Amino acid sequence: MHIQTHATESGQDLYPADRLHTAREAAARAGLDALLISPGADLRYLTGYDAKPLERLTCLVLPVDGYPFLLVPALEEPAAQASPAGGLDMEITGWNETDDPYAVIAARLPSSVARVGVDNHMWAEKTTAFHAALPGARQELAGSVLSGLRMRKTPQEAGALRRAGEAIDRVHARMGEWLRAGRTEREVGRDIADAIIAEGHVRVDFVIVGSGPNSASPHHELSDRVIQPGDPVVVDIGGTTQDGYCSDSTRVYAVGEPPEEFRQLHDVLLHAQIAQTDAVRPGLTAEQLDAVGRDIIADAGYGEYFIHRTGHGIGLESHEEPYIVSGNRLPLEPGMAFSVEPGIYLPHRYGARIEDIVICTEDGGDRLNRTGRYLVVLP
């Protein structure tokens, strides 16, 4: 059995009790009869319960008509009760090893249930079992209802993201301790991972150290390449704090003086990224924000080398809605939190990406990552 831990000072504020009600209303508006939510970010968002995904079913059942309940394996019940979910006006029930939890849920739902919203990340073996237990119910994605809620952060969530941003900034500020010529990316990455924990996270989500030509591969992680003098190095790192909120920030370093051409590339990228973070305001659409940086990079002749979207939402997951991408006409709203991370990648040569998390405010954008965005040349 594992012990649930929470930030007790902020736990209540982060997971307000009216969320189940808000989610139920949103489900009703979408024409769904119930939501079935398995362990993951949606369950934590709705109840504060950070449940482990297991082969045994844990499921929040949120009927549009009727009372919500959380069905958990009996051996997980103490952990569920001890979590913020235990303080909600919601029944928590354990199922025993010989019970069929899907049948338990089916028996408690009205027989008229025709459309259920299942957690976007529910395992296929569980959606299949629900299909068998509720043969008359069409399954749809609960995310269509919940992402609209999760996208708009409360002030308490914004505070949690800000603390995560400060934690990852402290790691970037220490980069000179670890990043130098003669070490491998993997050695540097191990030190960074230790620091991600030491500076205020409970989990390391990713560590990208792309040196020299590896900097041209956006999702390169770590390799045994030995970092060379003059190498550009892209460091993209993130973790999850005790509150459950994620950090994600990319800075570009050089170990010794980099090629002059690389400096020019970085200048263009920095100009684009600053223009984008400055452009954030309510009403601007996600695709308009993407275009702000893409146009600057294209005008400088690097258009074909900016090979990914500008950014992604962030919260209880490090990638969630809204996606800052061409084709997304969603207008930005106060409370939306997302990355702004344009990049330029010259294949097999070098590349760069600069990334901050930004929260849209009433009249602009608030950057959560505050370390310098210039090219940091380490000795």
Q: Which stretch binds Zn ion (CB under 5 A): 134-142, 171-179, 244-252, 301-309?
A: 244-252
- Per CB under 5 A, contacts with Zn ion among 257-316 are none
Q: Which stretch binds Zn ion (CB under 5 A): 66-74, 235-243, 262-270, 321-329?
A: 235-243
By C-beta, is 317 or 355 nearer to Zn ion? Answer: 355
DSSP code at position 336:
B
- The CB-of-188 to Zn ion minimum distance in angstroms stands at 16
- The CB-of-287 to Zn ion minimum distance in angstroms stands at 18
- The CB-of-337 to Zn ion minimum distance in angstroms stands at 12
- Per CB under 5 A, contacts with Zn ion among 317-346 are 339
> DSSP letter string over 242-295?
TTS-B--EEEEEEESPPPHHHHHHHHHHHHHHHHHHHH--TT-BHHHHHHHHHH
By C-beta, is 33 or 236 nearer to Zn ion? Answer: 236
What are the two backbone dihedrals, phi and then psi, of residue 370, each rounded to the nearest 5 degrees?
-120, 5
Do 7 and 243 touch, CB atoms closer than 8 A?
A: yes
Residues 6+ apart with CB under 8 A from 43: 37, 49, 51, 58, 60, 119
- The CB-of-283 to Zn ion minimum distance in angstroms stands at 24
What 3-state class would DSSP assign to 40? coil
Task: Give helix 143-151 / helix 19-29 axis angle, nearest 10°.
Answer: 130
- Dihedral sign for Cα 165, 171, 176, 182, please: negative
Q: Is residue 185 within the footprint of Zn ion (CB under 5 A)? A: no
Q: Which stretch binds Zn ion (CB under 5 A): 42-50, 53-61, 128-136, 352-360?
A: 352-360
- The CB-of-244 to Zn ion minimum distance in angstroms stands at 17
- The CB-of-352 to Zn ion minimum distance in angstroms stands at 13
Q: Is residue 248 within the footprint of Zn ion (CB under 5 A)? A: yes
What's the CA gap between 164 and 202, in Å, rounded? 11
Selected binder of Zn ion within 236, 243, 287, 356 (CB under 5 A): 236
Q: Which two tokens stand for residue 36?
A: 């079935």
Q: Which residues here bind Zn ion, judged by CB under 5 A?
A: 236, 248, 250, 339, 355
